[in-house]
Amino acid sequence: MRQSGIGSTDIGPHSRWSGRLIGLVAVLALVNFVVDSAITAPLVVLPEMLDHFGTHQTAWLNATAMLAGVMWAPLLGRSADIYGKRRVLVATLLLSCAGALLCAVAPSLWLFVPGRMLQGASLAAVFLSVAIVRGACAPRIGMIVVGIVTSGSAVLNIASRFVIEKLATQFGFQILFLLSAFVAAVMALCVRRFIPESPVRTPGRIDVSGAVLLGVGLGGVLGYVSLASDLGWVAAGPLALLVVGGAALARWFLVSSRKPEPLIDIRDIGRPLLLTLLVVFLAAGSYQSMLQLIPLIGDVSAGDDLGYGLADQGSVALLLAAPGLGVTLGGPASGWLAARIGPARTLAGAVTLGTVVTLGMFLGASQLPAALCCGFLLGVTVGALGTSGFNMAGSLASPERQGIVSSLVMVMVSIGSVVLDFVGAAVLKSTSVVVDGDTANSATGVFSYIGIASGAFAIALTLAVVLVRTTRSGGDPAPPGPRHEAPSPGLQRDRA
């Protein structure tokens, strides 16, 4: 049957730029803007939400969407492979829309938190967009498009912060969630209208019990890490999350290794994919922790004699905007490089840049010019790592497994961000000092924080070098087909 829309399958994969491909890129880049409006934009109005609900538990308002996104990701990734990537992307956007509406009208925290959990499904839009691109484009141009799609909305994200802040002052924080619901609904219609459905399907069924076990396990363990710092490490609630999460993960691992069609077949995760996921975990956690540190340094004056600080050296507004500009450049640039030298080498290059930039923050903690340079290059690292991670994982998967493999990258990004953010925050808290009656971060804490991030980047770099040597000349390795099927003729031509 003939399909219509941007990138129609009746004309084959895109191998060059055209109006249809530009339209596909524009739609999917705006889809990724929905993710920001649902996951990170609410931080702008976090104080207003705390006052409205009369609580000091910021983690319940902030972390639940990200944690829910981790729980949603494997289920939606597997569903996309079986039922179609466009169909699942539309459903994902509609779930985010419903969650945003619930948050906008929630009279209490008990309804607001479930709304945030529904919004967390939007996290799947990132890897579903990547899977759609890899199915609609030839490999070389697809790597570039992945970079644009995953990083192109960064400039919009910067501009939206100022608009949201102004609107929230006039109409209340609920306006953010109404706008998020509107954008999600509009983009669901655009995806349904303009993005063709992929004809590639993975025969099988959804392992519902495995999805529940994995989701509960990831959510429980990460929930403990995220919430215990606010609620208490030995409080009954966080401990219950840890016990339930650990038990669920153990049960999922034992059961999935015996099922014929598990949600994630751990027997099919070869060494290259495992190395890729470990690199993404360490590098994503490191850069996220550094992005969290930058505004903390920018709020401190060197005149406080803490051994660091940038607030009295000029405007630090650029310091907060520089990473966003770097992301916009880093994603497409890494995609362009991957098409020429291979995604493994590009991933290793991105990790190398991240290691150097993080070490540079030892100087940037007290020198604004160095901090501006490091902030921009850190943004380049963010864009390059995300793009390279998706491109590398995608090159290791057959067309029938793009959804689930891409979801694993997103899961590792989220887990790394939560874990390294927690480690950094714990270091700062344990080394804080009291200055004029106020608690402040010490130089020991700040530089230890930078040292931990640098060490994680260094380990990631070692693993990335091993990955380059493991793959064929640093390029695309031959993707494994499902165990029950032979590779398609088109896939064989791509390998050749």
* 315-333 per-position pLDDT tens digit: 666 777 788 888 888 999 9
pLDDT at 153 over 90: no
pLDDT at 490 over 50: no
Q: What does the pLDDT read at residue 45?
A: 79
pLDDT at 10 over 50: no
Residue 237 pLDDT level (bands cut at 50, 70, 90): confident
pLDDT > 90: what percent of the chain?
31
Which position has the higher pLDDT, 459 or 12? 459
Quick one: 295 exposed, middle or buried, by C-beta within 10 A (0-12, 13-18, 19+)? Answer: exposed
Most confident of 11-20, 230-239, 340-349, 405-414: 340-349
Cβ–Cβ < 8 Å for 382, 491: no
Which residues lie below 8 Å from residue 170, measured CB to CB, with a gap of 6+?
Answer: none
Residue 212 pLDDT level (bands cut at 50, 70, 90): confident
The stretch 297-312 carries a mean pLDDT of 81
pLDDT at 374 over 80: yes
Considering only 62-76, 109-123, 359-373, which range has the smallest mean pLDDT? Answer: 62-76
pLDDT at 121 over 60: yes
pLDDT at 255 over 90: no
CA distance 276 to 250: 23
Q: Would you state the structure tokens that stand for residue 68, as one six-digit string?
A: 């829910």
Most confident of 24-33, 258-267, 300-309, 473-482: 24-33
- The distance from CA 266 to its chain's CA centroid, rounded to whole angstroms, is 22
The Cα-based distances of 162 to 165, 166, 347, 353, 356 in angstroms read 5, 6, 33, 30, 31
Mean pLDDT of the chain: 83
- Whose tokens are 């990460």? That residue is 222
Tens-place pLDDT, residues 26-63: 999 889 888 888 887 787 777 788 888 887 666 667 67
Q: What does the pLDDT read at residue 429?
A: 81
Q: What does the pLDDT read at residue 88?
A: 94
Q: What does the angle CA 164 – CA 170 – CA 174 come to, to the nearest 5 degrees?
A: 60
Considering only 53-57, 177-181, 413-417, 438-442, which range has the smallest mean pLDDT? Answer: 53-57
pLDDT at 146 over 70: yes
Q: What does the pLDDT read at residue 467?
A: 94
The stretch 377-404 carries a mean pLDDT of 89
Q: What does the pLDDT read at residue 7?
A: 46
Could you write out the three-class secondary structure of the chain?
CCCCCCCCHHHCCECCCCHHHHHHHHHHHHHHHHHHHHHCHHHHHHHHHHHHHCCCCHHHHHHHHHHHHHHHHHHHHHHHHHHCHHHHHHHHHHHHHHHHHHHHHCCCHHHHHHHHHHHHHHHHHHHHHHHHHHHHECHHHHHHHHHHHHHCCHHHHHHHHHHHHHHHHHHCCHHHHHHHHHHHHHHHHHHHHHCCCCCCCCCCCCCHHHHHHHHHHHHHHHHHHHHHHHHCCCCHHHHHHHHHHHHHHHHHHHHHCCCCCCCCCHHHCCHHHHHHHHHHHHHHHHHHHHHHHHHHHHCCCHHHCCCCCCCCCCCCHHHHHHHHHHHHHHHHHHHHHHHHHCHHHHHHHHHHHHHHHHHHHHHHCCCHHHHHHHHHHHHHHHHHHHHHHHHHHHHCCCHHHHHHHHHHHHHHHHHHHHHHHHHHHHHHHHCCEEECCEEECCHHHHHHHHHHHHHHHHHHHHHHHHHHHHCHHHCCCCCCCCCCCCCCHHHHHHHC
What is the number of residues in the chain?
Answer: 496
Cβ–Cβ < 8 Å for 318, 488: no
Which residue, among 300, 58, 358, has the nearest Cα to 66 in the 3D structure? Answer: 58
Cβ–Cβ < 8 Å for 304, 440: yes
